Structure 1
Amino acid sequence: MTRSDPSGAQTVDRAVAILRLLASAGESGLRLIDLQHASGLSKPTVHRLLSSLLQHGLVEQDPGTRRYRLGMEMAVLGWSVSGARPDLRQLCGPDMQALADETGDTAFLAVRSGYDTVCIERKMGPYPIKAFTVDVGTRRPLGVGAGGIIMIAAMPEDEAELVFESIREPLRAYPNVSEAALRDAVARARTDGYAFSDGLVMTGVRGLAVLVRDARGQPAAALSLSAVQDRIRPERVPALVKALEERKKRIERSLALPPARTATLRLELDS
């Protein structure tokens, strides 16, 4: 395939869209008709893409339900990357648990995938009422939740506008999130340096998030806290943001080091 092959590029774009829809569906998978409706593509086109993805092991089909889901080859490709890049879940896990223990609330780690965020880790604090607004592996449009808000806030204006345009239709599935409310939350996050979500995911639930950057200063993930409304009152926000910032700095310091130094750094920081 060459850059001058628009049809080939379009095929790749469509295949990636199918993979992302399947990723959103999780283990339950999706039917052919579900993929057709969600993608806006014709039935023959979706079937042709699925046939190719099946051949490469990127998609599999349950013989009983006939539903499609991501295949094992997707995991293999992911494992191939992990040796060259830090394992964010493993690297951030100890600080996330410490953050959850310290605040009593639930800590989340999310990364960007196209115009979505994907939750890759969750740690629970001791407070008995949990705010499980998202499970590990859940994919949502950017801006749904504090993590997505801080990611948009970190973008240049033109890139952020492209995001707003691209997620306009997916946001219809989230009645608590209007574009106006999201734009306002992004503007506040740019000013404050952290994101605040007040019921934008679920009524009665609030969230706070900060951006984690890699060694090059590029956005790597969003670290967030979520709790029932009474747990994130205005007078408590500064202390929660401070806790998030402290853990963020530890994580960024680890990301700036070669993998071999990360374990040693952990011992130094905890001593």
Structure 2
Amino acid sequence: MEENRTKSAPRSRDGAQTIHRTAALLREIAAARGGGASLGALASATGLVPSTAHRMLQALVKEELLAKDAASRAYRPGRLLYELGLAAAPPFDLRKLCEPVLRRLAEATGDSTYLTVRSGEDALCLDRCEGSFPIKALPLEVGNRRPLGVGAGALAVLAALPRPEREQAVLANAARYPRYRITPERVREELQATDRRGYAVTTGRFVARYRGVAVPFGAGAAPAASLCIVAISERLKPERLERVAALLSREARTLNGLLAQQAHPEPAGDWT
């Protein structure tokens, strides 16, 4: 019996490794969003040998978890992935809860507002509301993913985590940061600045003229998340930036109260 258990252990580890590799491929494809991702880019991003990545991608296409574009040969999320997602209902609908908040912020500032939430070692753009200002700052689409710490919204999400989890996320993303012209050391410095101010600020991470300001909320029983406003830099100079940050903080406190109520609802009254 002991010999059988010993022989089966490597197979168990291999199975777990395959799952981790598959999840890494799916995350990278989701991050590419509409444009899809090539075999070479996926192999490079995940550290897989191209031949291994190709075999895994082909299997995912066969299972309809992925689709492959015949012209560009890029891989995109498949039909089954969407269908499985429909069944993965979260404990509560954070997007629905935050929708009126995003709308209020967009109306009050005239700028683009974003809801970002933690997804593993990534930050996921869960929702967006455009403001009335003619020049739109739209660096992210709903569904876009970035490593935690990249951009104001993702930096604020990272700041919402307990310090040990922050460091784990920074280390996990260390190899990915250079693609965004940032280093783990820079992320740690920006986290310290975020802690001092109470809000995150980044400029030109995706588009040179854009500046983002974000405030964390959630964590604990609720997901770590952030509210973020992105605008052209001229609209977020220091004086106005402080006012916008105060507005974000007020809405974040409101959301924390709502999340606390959902996590610990008041007991129902006795109608008998």
Q: TM-score, normalising length from structure 2?
A: 0.83
Partner of 1:205: 210
Partner of 2:3: none
SS in 2 for 1:109: strand
CA gap 1:250/1:156 in 2 versus in 1, 3 angstroms: closer
Q: Which of residues 7, 15, 23 in structure 2 aligns to 1:16?
A: 23
Q: Which of residues 172, 183, 188 in structure 2 aligns to 1:166?
A: 172
Structure 2 counterparts to residues 131-146 of structure 1, below 5 A: 131-146=137-152
Q: Which moved more, 1:62-71 or 1:187-196?
A: 62-71
Matched, 1:183 2:183: no
Q: Which of residues 35, 38, 54 in structure 2 aligns to 1:47?
A: 54
Contact kept in structure 2, 1:151 and 1:219, CA below 8 Å = no
SS in 2 for 1:125: coil
Partner of 1:247: 251
Matched, 1:116 2:132: no
Q: Which of residues 225, 236, 240 in structure 2 aligns to 1:236?
A: 240
Displacement of 1:138:
1.7
Size of the aligned set, in residue pairs, is 257
CA distance in 1, matches of 2:158, 2:262: 28
Partner of 1:225: 229
CA gap 1:157/1:221 in 2 versus in 1, 3 angstroms: closer
Partner of 1:265: none
Which digits, 9 at most, give the CA deviation of each residue in 1:117-163, with x for residues without a partner?
12121111112222222222222121111112122223333332232
CA gap 1:112/1:237 in 2 versus in 1, 3 angstroms: same
Partner of 2:201: 196
Contact kept in structure 2, 1:211 and 1:219, CA below 8 Å = no
CA gap 1:5/1:93 in 2 versus in 1, 3 angstroms: same
Partner of 1:94: 100
Identity of aligned residues (%): 35
CA gap 1:145/1:169 in 2 versus in 1, 3 angstroms: same
CA distance in 2, matches of 1:143, 1:114: 13
Partner of 2:153: 147
CA distance in 1, matches of 2:156, 2:84: 28
Partner of 2:91: 85
Which letter does structure 2 place at the counterpart of 1:81?
Answer: A
Contact kept in structure 1, 2:155 and 2:200, CA below 8 Å = yes
Which digits, 9 at most, give the CA deviation of each residue in 1:84-105, with x for residues without a partner?
5222222212210110110111
Contact kept in structure 1, 2:212 and 2:231, CA below 8 Å = yes
SS in 2 for 1:30: coil
CA gap 1:4/1:252 in 2 versus in 1, 3 angstroms: farther
Matched, 1:71 2:78: yes
CA gap 1:150/1:2 in 2 versus in 1, 3 angstroms: farther
SS in 1 for 2:15: helix
CA distance in 2, matches of 1:33, 1:200: 24
Point out where structure 1 has 5 or more consecutive residues left out of the alignment. 262-271
Which letter does structure 1 place at the counterpart of 2:135?
Answer: I
Point out where structure 2 has 5 or more consecutive residues left out of the alignment. 1-7, 266-272
Displacement of 1:40:
2.3
